[in-house]
A and B are shown apart, each in its own frame.
Chain A
Amino acid sequence: MFKCKTSAEVGGMGHSVKRKEDARFLHGKGNYVDDVKLPGQLTMVMVRSPYAYAKIKSINKEKALAIPGVLAVITGEDLAQYNLHWMPTLLSDTQMVLPTDTVMHQSQEVCAVIATDRYVAVDGAEAVEVDYEPMQAIVDPFKALDDDAPLLRPDKEGQEDNQIYHWERGDRAKTDEVIANADVVVKERIYLPRIHVASIETCGCVASYDKDTQKLLVYLTTQAPHAIRTVVALVAGHVGLSEEKIRIISPDIGGGFGGKVPVYPAYVVAIAATFLIGKPVKWIEDRSENLVNGFARDYHMDCELAATKEGKIQAFKVSTLADHGYTDSSANPSKYPTGMFSICTGSYDYEHAFAELDAVYTNKAPGGVAYRCSFRVTEAVHAIERMVDKLAAKIEKDPALLRLENFIKKEQFPYDSPLGWSYDSGDYEATLKKAMDMIGYDNYKKEQAEKRAQGKLMGIGICTFTEVVGAGPSKDFDILGIAMFDSAEIRVHPTGKALARFGTKSQGQGHETTYAQILAEELGIPYTDIEIDEGDTDTAPYGLGTYASRSTPTAGAAAAIAARKLRDKGKKIAAHLLEVSEEDIEWEVGKYFVKGAPEKSKTIQDVAFAAYTNIPPGMEPGFEATHYYDPPNLTFPNGAYICVVEVEQETGAIDVKRFVAIDDCGNIINPMIVEGQVHGGLTQGIAPAMYEGIEYDDEGNVLNGTLMDYLVPTAVESPHWETGHTITPSPHHPLGAKGVAESPTVGAPPAIANAIIDALAPLGIKHLDIPITPAKVWEAIQAHS
C-alpha cells in the first residue's frame, strides 16, 4: 500500500483532502461559458437540416432579416468568400463549417442567425427558408461499401468509394494459421453502438473580436484550449487572425468526457461572425443539437479467439467496420487513426494477434470522440473481454479461472504485447483475486447453481481489462503535428505561497486540488497554500489539454519535475543561508537541513523568501520553475470488475445486485477523488451497457435525440458501486502514478454484458450486443424458448 510522506496539513499524495474548487460550485459562483456576458453581446442560433442527405437549392434570408433584432444570417456562400466554409479535421479529413450545396447528415448546420437575444435569434432561425432536394441517405455502413452505393464525398480528390481508410496491425498470415489449427475457436460479431457523452453542460462559446486591436478572445467549452488556439490560427490565419492575438479561455467546464475536444462548426461560425460584425457573439448548443451531433464508438467488430482445448489462449483476430459519418473527425493522434485499438489483445499472454479496420462514410453526424476512453480502448476491451467469456462458456471453464491461467504474470513486465505496446506494470492475478474476495465469488457461484436448479436466471460477469493512457511519447503521438507533451509552471511567492499553471484543463477531475497535492508532496508547501490555474492561453504554459486520462501521466509528471528543479535551486539557497556547502544539505519534506546536524535547517518558505531577499552571489533571483514533460511511455492502468445480476424471465428486467471494481492505477494522489472518478466512470459504463445508444431510421433520422428518449442513467438506474484498489506503481512515471478516470467506463460494459449473458446461458443465449435492454432480453428469451 501507498504510505503518505506528508502530514494531513501539508496534504501531499495519498491524502483524501477535500476539494479546493468546491466552494464556488456549491454557491452558484462557477463561471461556465453560458455565464459569460460581454458588453454588446449578440446571440447566434444555428439553422439545421431536417434531412440526412439533401441538395440545398436555395436559402432565403429575407423574412429572417426583416425581424427586428435579427442582424445577420450567415450561410456557406458568405463564408466561402473568405475560404472559411470548410475546415480540416484532426485526422486530415475535411468538414463543412457551413454547406454551400449539400447537407450530409440530419441536424447539420445549414446557416447561422445572429440577433440581439436568443428569443429573437430563434424566431430568425424559424423564418429562414431553405429549399432542399432530399436524396436517399446511406445509413447502414455495410451498404456504404456496396459497388452501387452512391459516392458520398465526391468533393475529395481521388475518393472513388466510401471507404475512408484501411488500417491493420500484426501478422495476418500467422494469426490465421494458428486459428485454423487451433483446438477451439470462438467467433462473434460484436457491435458497440453509437453513443453520446451527454455532459450536462452542452457545448458553446462567446467569441469577441476587437477590430481596433485585432485581438480575438474566445470563451470556449474546450478540453484543449492551446490546441484550439493553434487550430484557429492555422484555419483563419489567412484572414488576419494571428496566433499571438488569439486568446482562448476555457472557463469552468460542465463535464467534458471527450466531447469538448473537437472543433465544432458553430465555433468557427461564431468566430467568423464576431470578426465580421465586430461585436461579441454567443452560441450555446441546446440539448437536442448536442445529442445528434458528435458521437463515440460505432464499431462493428468480427472477432475470433483461438485456444487449446484446456483453454490456453493462442491467437486473437478482429476485423472492424467503423462508421464515421460523413467525415472522419475522430479526435485521435494523427498516426493513430484507430486510436489505441490495438490494446485489444488484453491482459493475457499469447503470441499471435491481428487487428484490421475499415472506416467508412455514411450520412450520419461526424465525431468519433474518445468518450471517457483513451482513443478506442473501450471498443478493444469489449471485444477481448466478451470473447474470453465466450471461450470460457465453450470449453465450460470458470471464466475467472480461465483468466487467471492466461494472465500476463507480474514478473513479465515490462511486457511487449503482440500488437506493439510495452505494458509498464501490473499484478493482474492479485487484482482479480482481490475482486473475487471482495464480492465473495465462490459463494455467488454456489448461489447461482442453486438458483439455476430452481429455474431462476442469475449471472456473474467478469472483466479484467488493461488500459493504455497518458499520450504520449511525442515521437509517436501528436495532434495535427503538435507533440503530445504537457506542462507545468510554478511560481513560489516570497511568502512561501505558490501559483502553478498547467497546459491541461479540468472538467470536474479536481485538478485544483490534485495538482496542489503533487506540489505539496514535492515541496512540502501545504496544498492549501497553492493556487492552480488552467485554461487561459494568455497565462498558462502550452499543453495539449485534458482527455484520454493524460493529465496525471503528463502534466502531473511535469509538476513533479518542475518542483524538483525548484528543490535543486532551493538546496543552493539553503546552503548559502546555513553557511555550508551544497553537498552538506539534505532534504526532507518541507525543509533542508545540514547533514548530521538536523537542528540546523531552513524551511521551504525560508528558502523562498531568501530567493527574493538574500540571493546567493551569482544566482538568478526568484523561485520559479517550468517543465514540459514528454513521457517515455504510456501508462497501463488495469482492473478487475465483477458484476452479479438477476434477470426476470417473464419481463426481461435486469437487476444489478452487486458490482465490485478493483482498480490498479499505480500510486494514488487523492483516494477520495479517485474513488469519485471510478463511481462516475462506472455509471458511464452501465449507461451504454444497458440504456444508451443513438438510433437511426432508414432515412437517417435520429430517433432518440432528446433526453426524453436517450436514457442517461439517473440515481435509480445506477447501482451502489463498491470499489477497491491494488497498487502497482508505474515504473517510468515520476510519481509512480497512472491515469484512472477512464478505466471504469472501459471496464464496466463488458462486466455487465458478461453477467447478463451468463444469466441467460441456461436458455442457450450466447451473445447480445449492448445496450442490453429488458426488451432485447425479453425478445432473446422468446426466441430461445
Chain B
Amino acid sequence: MKHTISMTINGAPVTAEVDSRLLLVHFIRENLDLTGTHIGCDTSNCGACTILLDGKSIKSCTYLAVRADGAEITTIEGLAAEGTNHPLQQAFHDQHGLHCGFCTPGMIMRSVDLLKNNPNPTEEEIRWGISGNLCRCTGYNNIVKSVQQAAKEMQSESESV
C-alpha cells in the first residue's frame, strides 16, 4: 500500500509516495540519494544509520518512513554548511576519531544529541552515551577525545553568544 508522506530533510521539504513497509534508512539512502547514513546491521545494534529526527537521535533502520511523516530530519549531510565543519566533525578530524569512516556519520549524529542533553559529559557518560553505536576500527579512545573536544568547543561557543 502506498502513502504520501512529507518531511523536512536537512532544511528542505520533501514529499514522496512510499510503501508502508519502506524503512526510513532506505528512503533516505535510496529515494533521496543521501548515502552518508549507513546500514551496518539488521537488529539496530550498530548505530551506523543514526540520524536526528525532530532533534533526537534515532536508528533509521528500525523506523518506518511513513512514521516520519511531518518530521524534521537531519542527516550527516545537513549537519554543517558545505565546506564547513560542525564542531564534532572538526573534532573527529583533529583527534583521529575515525579510520574507515563507516560508523562515523552515525557516531557523530548520536554525539550531537548526547551533547545537546549533556553539554559537559564525563568520559564515562560519553562512553555510555555512544554505547549504541559500534566502531570496529578505532578502539573508541579517540572518539571519546573527539566528543570531549567538541563539548569544550561548543560550550565556549555558547558562552560567547
Check A507 for interface membership: any CB of B closer than 8 A.
Answer: yes
**How long is the Cα–Cα vector from A510 to B30 in the complex, in angstroms?**
28
- CB pair B100 A199 closer than 8 Å: yes
- CB pair B108 A26 closer than 8 Å: yes
- CB pair A715 B130 closer than 8 Å: yes
**How long is the Cα–Cα vector from A698 to B40 in the complex, in angstroms?**
30
Interface string of A508-525 (1 = CB under 8 A from B): 111000000000000000
- CB pair A119 B139 closer than 8 Å: no
Interface string of B127-147 (1 = CB under 8 A from A): 110111111111111111000
- CB pair B99 A508 closer than 8 Å: yes
- CB pair B38 A26 closer than 8 Å: no
Check A712 for interface membership: any CB of B closer than 8 A.
Answer: yes
Check B15 for interface membership: any CB of A closer than 8 A.
Answer: no
Smallest beta-carbon distance B118→chain A, Å: 15
Number of interface residues of A (CB under 8 A): 61
Closest B residue to A252 by beta carbon equals B101
Q: Which of B71-114 contact A (CB under 8 A)?
A: 75-77, 80, 82, 85, 89, 92-94, 96, 98-105, 108
Check A257 for interface membership: any CB of B closer than 8 A.
Answer: yes
Smallest beta-carbon distance B27→chain A, Å: 12
- CB pair B93 A22 closer than 8 Å: yes
- CB pair B139 A27 closer than 8 Å: no
Check A575 for interface membership: any CB of B closer than 8 A.
Answer: no
**How long is the Cα–Cα vector from A405 to B138 in the complex, in angstroms?**
35
- In this complex, the member of A26, A677, A684, A706 whose beta carbon has the largest number of chain B beta carbons within 10 angstroms is A26
Contacts of A288 in B (CB 8 A): 42
- CB pair A715 B98 closer than 8 Å: no
Contacts of B108 in A (CB 8 A): 26
- CB pair B134 A255 closer than 8 Å: no
- When the two chains form the complex, which single residue of A26, A254, A508 contacts B93, counting CB atoms closer than 8 Å? A26
Check B126 for interface membership: any CB of A closer than 8 A.
Answer: yes
Contacts of A61 in B (CB 8 A): none
Check B43 for interface membership: any CB of A closer than 8 A.
Answer: yes
- CB pair B43 A706 closer than 8 Å: yes
**How long is the Cα–Cα vector from A452 to B42 in the complex, in angstroms?**
46
- CB pair B100 A200 closer than 8 Å: yes
Check B14 for interface membership: any CB of A closer than 8 A.
Answer: no
Check B35 for interface membership: any CB of A closer than 8 A.
Answer: yes
- CB pair B43 A507 closer than 8 Å: no
- CB pair B105 A28 closer than 8 Å: yes
- CB pair B139 A721 closer than 8 Å: yes
Q: Which of B20-47 contact A (CB under 8 A)?
A: 21-22, 26, 29-30, 33-43, 45-46
- When the two chains form the complex, which single residue of A119, A253, A714 contacts B19, counting CB atoms closer than 8 Å? A119
- When the two chains form the complex, which single residue of B36, B85, B96, B131 contacts A715, counting CB atoms closer than 8 Å? B131
- CB pair A25 B98 closer than 8 Å: yes
- CB pair A32 B102 closer than 8 Å: yes
- CB pair B92 A200 closer than 8 Å: no
- CB pair B40 A287 closer than 8 Å: yes
- When the two chains form the complex, which single residue of B37, B45, B92, B139 contacts A22, counting CB atoms closer than 8 Å? B92
Contacts of B138 in A (CB 8 A): 676, 679-680, 683
Smallest beta-carbon distance A715→chain B, Å: 4
Check B48 for interface membership: any CB of A closer than 8 A.
Answer: yes
- In this complex, the member of A25, A256, A257, A682 whose beta carbon has the largest number of chain B beta carbons within 10 angstroms is A25
- CB pair B127 A30 closer than 8 Å: no
Smallest beta-carbon distance B142→chain A, Å: 6
**How long is the Cα–Cα vector from A676 to B102 in the complex, in angstroms?**
16
- CB pair B45 A707 closer than 8 Å: yes
Q: Which of A729-771 contact B (CB under 8 A)?
A: none
- CB pair A26 B85 closer than 8 Å: yes
Q: Which of A255-299 contact B (CB under 8 A)?
A: 255-257, 284, 286-288
Say whether chain A's binding surface is mostly helix, strand, loop, or mixed: loop
- CB pair B104 A26 closer than 8 Å: yes
- When the two chains form the complex, which single residue of A27, A287, A720 contacts B89, counting CB atoms closer than 8 Å? A27
Contacts of B134 in A (CB 8 A): 200, 707, 712, 714
- CB pair A255 B100 closer than 8 Å: yes
- CB pair A676 B42 closer than 8 Å: no
Smallest beta-carbon distance B20→chain A, Å: 11
Interface string of A175-188 (1 = CB under 8 A from B): 00000000000000
- In this complex, the member of A35, A198, A718 whose beta carbon has the largest number of chain B beta carbons within 10 angstroms is A718
Check A34 for interface membership: any CB of B closer than 8 A.
Answer: yes
- When the two chains form the complex, which single residue of A200, A256, A683 contacts B140, counting CB atoms closer than 8 Å? A683
Given contacts A37-B33, A718-B139, contact A201 B102 (CB under 8 A): yes
Interface string of A440-458 (1 = CB under 8 A from B): 0000000000000000000
Closest A residue to B78 by beta carbon equals A28
Check A431 for interface membership: any CB of B closer than 8 A.
Answer: no
Check A19 for interface membership: any CB of B closer than 8 A.
Answer: yes
Closest A residue to B131 by beta carbon equals A714
Check A776 for interface membership: any CB of B closer than 8 A.
Answer: no
Interface string of A10-32 (1 = CB under 8 A from B): 00000000110111111111111
Contacts of B75 in A (CB 8 A): 28
- CB pair A287 B140 closer than 8 Å: no
- When the two chains form the complex, which single residue of B21, B39, B76, B123 contacts A34, counting CB atoms closer than 8 Å? B39
Closest A residue to B127 by beta carbon equals A715
Contacts of A677 in B (CB 8 A): 99
- CB pair B131 A25 closer than 8 Å: no
- CB pair B42 A286 closer than 8 Å: yes
- CB pair B21 A119 closer than 8 Å: yes
- When the two chains form the complex, which single residue of A26, A708, A716 contacts B45, counting CB atoms closer than 8 Å? A708
- When the two chains form the complex, which single residue of B36, B46, B141 contacts A200, counting CB atoms closer than 8 Å? B46
Closest A residue to B124 by beta carbon equals A716
- CB pair B99 A200 closer than 8 Å: no
Interface string of A383-415 (1 = CB under 8 A from B): 000000000000000000000000000000000
Contacts of A27 in B (CB 8 A): 36, 76-77, 80, 82, 89
Smallest beta-carbon distance B32→chain A, Å: 12
- CB pair A712 B105 closer than 8 Å: no
Smallest beta-carbon distance B148→chain A, Å: 12
Smallest beta-carbon distance B62→chain A, Å: 12
Check A673 for interface membership: any CB of B closer than 8 A.
Answer: yes
**How long is the Cα–Cα vector from A28 to B131 in the complex, in angstroms?**
21
Contacts of A329 in B (CB 8 A): none
Check A564 for interface membership: any CB of B closer than 8 A.
Answer: no
Contacts of A199 in B (CB 8 A): 100, 102, 136
**How long is the Cα–Cα vector from A706 to B141 in the complex, in angstroms?**
25
Q: Which of A516-545 contact B (CB under 8 A)?
A: none
Closest A residue to B123 by beta carbon equals A720
Check A672 for interface membership: any CB of B closer than 8 A.
Answer: yes
Contacts of A716 in B (CB 8 A): 127-128, 131
Smallest beta-carbon distance B14→chain A, Å: 17
**How long is the Cα–Cα vector from A287 to B36 in the complex, in angstroms?**
19
Smallest beta-carbon distance B53→chain A, Å: 16
Smallest beta-carbon distance B111→chain A, Å: 11
Check A493 for interface membership: any CB of B closer than 8 A.
Answer: no
Q: Can you list 30 A-B contacts (CB < 8 A)?
A: A25-B101, A25-B105, A26-B85, A26-B89, A27-B76, A28-B34, A28-B35, A28-B77, A29-B36, A32-B35, A32-B38, A34-B29, A197-B136, A200-B46, A200-B135, A200-B136, A201-B102, A202-B40, A253-B100, A287-B42, A287-B43, A672-B96, A675-B96, A677-B99, A678-B139, A680-B99, A683-B136, A708-B43, A708-B45, A712-B134
Please report B residues at the A interface, Cβ cutoff 8 Å: 19, 21-22, 26, 29-30, 33-43, 45-46, 48, 75-77, 80, 82, 85, 89, 92-94, 96, 98-105, 108, 123, 126-128, 130-144
Which 7 A-B pairs give the minimum distances between C-beta atoms? A28-B36, A25-B101, A254-B102, A508-B100, A679-B139, A508-B99, A28-B76
Known: A25-B104, A26-B92, A707-B45; 4 extra A-B contacts, CB below 8 A, are: A22-B92, A201-B40, A510-B99, A716-B127
